[in-house]
A and B are shown apart, each in its own frame.
Chain A
Amino acid sequence: MRFEFHDPGGALTVTQPHAPRIETLNDRKIGFLTNDQWQAFRMLPKLRELIAQDFPRAQILPLDAFPQGNAEIPKETTAELVKLADVDAVIIGNAS
C-alpha cells in the first residue's frame, strides 16, 4: 500500500540568502557587527588585528562603526547603515 503525507518541514522561499563571496580581502572594506557578548569584545578585535596583518591593504572598519548589542544588530536601521557604509564583507559575532 502507498501512503502519502505532507512534508512536516513545509516550504522555504529563500533560494539565495547569502551575499556573494569576494576574491580577496585586500582593497576591500570589511565591517564588524558585534553583540559585545560571549567574549566578542576580545575575539573580534583580535580577528580584526589578524586580518590587518594578513591583508595589509584591507580597509577594516572599527568595531564601533555600527550599533552594538543583540537588540541593535537585527534592526533594519542597522542593516541600512551597513549598506550605506558600502562594505564588501561583514563579520558578525558572537552567538552561543
Chain B
Amino acid sequence: MFRNAVAGLGLAPDGAMVTFPMPIFLPESDISPLEARKQEFYDGLMRWRPASAGAQAERGRVIALDATDHEQALTRFNHLAIANLWGDGLPLWMPTQARVDWILRGSALPRTTVMGKMPPRGGVATVEACAVALAMAGGRPEYLPVLIAAVDAFLDPSTNSDQLQAASGSAFPVVIVNGPIGRQIRLNSGFGCLGPDPQHAAGASIGRSLRLLQQNLGGAVPGTGAMANYGGMRYTNAVFAEDEDGLPEGWQPHATLRHGFERGANAISLVFASGAANIRRRGAKKETAEEDALQGMHRMADFLRAPNLHCIPGYAQGTPGVLMIPNIVARRMAELGWTQRSIVEFLWEHTKIPMRELKRSGSVSWIEVDTNPITRASLALDPWPIAHKPENFILIVAGGGHPTNSYWLQGYSPAVVGRRIALPDNYEKLLAEADRDLGLGS
C-alpha cells in the first residue's frame, strides 16, 4: 500500500484517497482547497469502507459470450475489450480456452505457476495469464518462453516496476534477447528491429502481450493507473534480438557481458526506457575511416550528454540507456581497434556534463533527492558523468547492415535484469509447426 500510494493513482480502485485537480500540486499553488475539503481526509480515516470488503478472493474467470457466428463473436469480444479496458484499442484475438491451451504448449512450467503480482493493481501473474495476454496479442506458443522470462524480470523488485508502471515518465520495458531462440522464433535483430515487420512478428506480439499484462493485471490504464504523460512505444514496448551473427570477433553477446550467461544461452535482459531516438552517425563527405568512426562516436556522445536526468534512477546499478549500432558499424570499428569496452569508456568520458550546466538547469536537486548514496556523492564530480561507471552503458549490435544511423533508448532503469529462457521439451516440435504455419523458415 505504501509503495503504490506514491507511485501514482495506481491504488486499487477502492482505495481511500482524496484527489485534487493538478494545479494544487504545482509550485506556489493555492492550497486552500485542502482546508475546504478537510472532512474528506477525516472520512477517509474514520468512515470510508472498501467496496470489496467481505468479498471472496477474485478468481480468474471464464466469461461466456453468445453470438450467431465467429464473426459476431470476435466483434462482440472487441467491443467488450474496449468497454472493460482489456486492450490497447486495436483489434485483439479472443483468448478462448482452445487458443490459450495452444499457447500454453510453449511453457516449460505448469499453467498455474505464479511469478508474482503485477503492480500496482496486483493481478496475479501466472503462466496462464501470460498465455491469455499472448493469445490476445496474436502470439504463438514458441513466443511464450520469452514472455515468461520477461515477466519474471519485470517483476524483479530491483526494477522498481511498481513505480514505473504508474509514474508520469512514460517508462516502457525493453527486452533484449540473446541466444538461438531469437532467430528460431523470428525475432528481428536487423533492419527495422523496433518496428512492424511481417517477416519477424514475434517482437510485436511479445511486447504487446507484456503491455496487456501491465494494463490488465497491473491496472496501468492511461490517466488512472498509469500517469505517463505520453506513453510512447507502449503499444508493443521494445522486444528484439541482438544481432549475434553480426558481432565482431572477440565481442560478447550482451547477456554474456552483462549477466554472465554463457555464449549461446537463451536469455533476456530487461531494462526500462523512456524515449527512443535515431542518431545520424555517419559522416557526409570524404572522411577517412578513422574520422568517420571518431566523429560518429562524438556525435552519439554529444546527443547523450543532456541534463535530462532519467538516468538518475539507474545511476549506480542500472543504465543510462541502450545504444544500438548496426553490425557493419561494429565490424568497421572493431577493425579500427575499437572494443566494446573502449566504446563504453568513450561514451562515459564524453557524456559528462559540466556542473555549471547541471546547476543552470536545476538538475542538481534531482540528484540531491536521490536515495542512493553513490548517486548523491557524484555531485562532487565536475564534469558530472551520467553513469556511475562505463559498463553501465548498454551497447547492442542490432539494426541491419547499413552504416548511417545508431539508435538510443534512453534509460529510466534502476536495474538491468537478466533471465534465462526456459524451453519446454516439445520446443523443436513447436518450431517445426511454426515453419509449417508461417512458411518463411527460421
> Which residues of the other chain, A, contact B27 by a CB distance below 8 angstroms?
39
Is B216 on the interface with A (CB-CB < 8 A)?
yes
In the docked arrangement, what's the CA distance between A12 and B405, Å? 45
Among A17, A22, A78, the most chain B Cβ lie within 10 Å of the Cβ of: A17
Is B24 on the interface with A (CB-CB < 8 A)?
yes
Chain B window 66-110, contacts with chain A (Cβ cutoff 8 Å), 1 for yes, 0 for no: 111100010001000100101100000011110010000000000
Is A11 on the interface with B (CB-CB < 8 A)?
yes
Chain A window 14-37, contacts with chain B (Cβ cutoff 8 Å), 1 for yes, 0 for no: 111110011111000010010110
Check A21/B132 contact, CB under 8 A, given A11-B59, A11-B123.
no
* Docked-complex contact A1 and B69, CB < 8 angstroms: yes
> Which residues of the other chain, A, contact B62 by a CB distance below 8 angstroms?
4-7
Min C-beta distance of A72 to chain B, whole Å: 6
In the docked arrangement, what's the CA distance between A2 and B125, Å? 28
Is A84 on the interface with B (CB-CB < 8 A)?
no
> Which residues of the other chain, A, contact B61 by a CB distance below 8 angstroms?
6-7
> Which residues of the other chain, A, contact B212 by a CB distance below 8 angstroms?
8
In the docked arrangement, what's the CA distance between A15 and B55, Å? 6
Check A2/B63 contact, CB under 8 A, given A9-B216, A46-B35, A73-B2.
no
* Docked-complex contact A79 and B2, CB < 8 angstroms: yes
Chain B window 37-53, contacts with chain A (Cβ cutoff 8 Å), 1 for yes, 0 for no: 01001100111111011
Binds A, one of B8-16, B324-332, B422-430: B8-16
* Docked-complex contact B35 and A50, CB < 8 angstroms: yes
Among A8, A13, A33, A89, the most chain B Cβ lie within 10 Å of the Cβ of: A8
Is B64 on the interface with A (CB-CB < 8 A)?
yes
> Which residues of the other chain, A, contact B16 by a CB distance below 8 angstroms?
18
> Which residues of the other chain, B, contact A12 by a CB distance below 8 angstroms?
57-58, 121-124
* Docked-complex contact B129 and A16, CB < 8 angstroms: no
* Docked-complex contact A21 and B3, CB < 8 angstroms: no
In the docked arrangement, what's the CA distance between A7 and B126, Å? 13
* Docked-complex contact A8 and B1, CB < 8 angstroms: no
In the docked arrangement, what's the CA distance between A51 and B58, Å? 37
Q: Which of B6, B34, B67, B100 contacts A3 (CB 8 A)?
A: B67
Interface size class of B (residues with CB under 8 A): 35 or more
> Which residues of the other chain, A, contact B370 by a CB distance below 8 angstroms?
71
In the docked arrangement, what's the CA distance between A25 and B42, Å? 8
* Docked-complex contact A9 and B84, CB < 8 angstroms: yes
* Docked-complex contact B95 and A8, CB < 8 angstroms: yes
In the docked arrangement, what's the CA distance between A35 and B369, Å? 10
* Docked-complex contact A47 and B41, CB < 8 angstroms: yes
* Docked-complex contact B31 and A42, CB < 8 angstroms: yes
In the docked arrangement, what's the CA distance between A2 and B67, Å? 6
Residue total for A at the interface (Cβ-Cβ under 8 A): 52
Q: Which of B38, B57, B73, B122 contacts A47 (CB 8 A)?
A: B38
Check A54/B42 contact, CB under 8 A, given A46-B31, A94-B25.
yes
In the docked arrangement, what's the CA distance between A46 and B26, Å? 16
Is A92 on the interface with B (CB-CB < 8 A)?
yes
Is B5 on the interface with A (CB-CB < 8 A)?
yes
Q: Which of B12, B22, B95, B117 contacts A6 (CB 8 A)?
A: B95
> Which residues of the other chain, A, contact B97 by a CB distance below 8 angstroms?
4-6
In the docked arrangement, what's the CA distance between A3 and B73, Å? 7
In the docked arrangement, what's the CA distance between A1 and B34, Å? 55
> Which residues of the other chain, A, contact B22 by a CB distance below 8 angstroms?
96
Closest B residue to A79 using CB positions: B2
In the docked arrangement, what's the CA distance between A14 and B50, Å? 12
Is B394 on the interface with A (CB-CB < 8 A)?
no
Is B168 on the interface with A (CB-CB < 8 A)?
yes
* Docked-complex contact B25 and A6, CB < 8 angstroms: no
Closest B residue to A36 using CB positions: B369
Residues of chain A in range 46-96 having any CB-CB distance to chain B below 8 Å: 46-47, 50-51, 54, 69-74, 78-79, 82, 89, 91-96
In the docked arrangement, what's the CA distance between A73 and B12, Å? 18
Q: Which of A5, A11, A33, A42 contacts B2 (CB 8 A)?
A: A33
> Which residues of the other chain, B, contact A71 by a CB distance below 8 angstroms?
370-372
* Docked-complex contact A17 and B3, CB < 8 angstroms: no
Among B25, B31, B42, B216, the most chain A Cβ lie within 10 Å of the Cβ of: B25
* Docked-complex contact B123 and A9, CB < 8 angstroms: yes
Could you list some 30 contacts between A and B, CB below 8 A? A1-B69, A2-B66, A4-B64, A4-B65, A5-B97, A6-B61, A8-B86, A8-B87, A8-B132, A10-B126, A11-B123, A12-B58, A12-B123, A13-B58, A14-B12, A16-B50, A17-B12, A17-B122, A18-B16, A21-B48, A30-B45, A39-B26, A39-B29, A43-B31, A51-B41, A71-B371, A73-B2, A73-B3, A73-B6, A94-B25
Known A7-B60, A18-B1, A94-B6; 6 more pairs at CB < 8 Å = A1-B68, A3-B73, A8-B81, A10-B124, A21-B45, A51-B42
